[in-house]
Amino acid sequence: MLAFSLGYLQTVCGVNSSPRPEAARRVRVSGRVQGVYFRASTAERAIALSLRGFAENCADGSVLVLAAGAPAALEQLIAWLHRGPPMARVASVEVESIDPAAFDWPAGFLQQ
């Protein structure tokens, strides 16, 4: 019963109990990337690529994206992040490989 309860709690809190993703990236996107539907568009693109993670606005005006999944899907997302949605003006994209086991990834892709 305890195992079921813990599994239920993880599901309710948005933590995915499926196997760890193959790869993960931390990406910081700078430029005109806030107030232009960047996080929502990133989430839509990531979900279409079956990636897990999140996108959040940072105090310095950039957007931080943590994404995990298949390496090819991550590369497609990163290529898209260099352009972003139509109203965005991306000035720079910093990409860092991270250990996918270092996080409890959400079941999908979140905007924070």
CA–CA dist 2, 12 (Å, integer): 15
CA–CA dist 47, 111 (Å, integer): 12
Helix then strand then coil, in percent of the chain rounded to 5, is 30, 35, 35
Does residue 45 have an active-site annotation?
A: no
Catalytic residue, from 16, 20, 28, 57: name it.
Answer: 57
Catalytic residue, from 39, 45, 52, 83: name it.
Answer: 39
Does residue 20 have an active-site annotation?
A: no
Residues with a known catalytic role: 39, 57
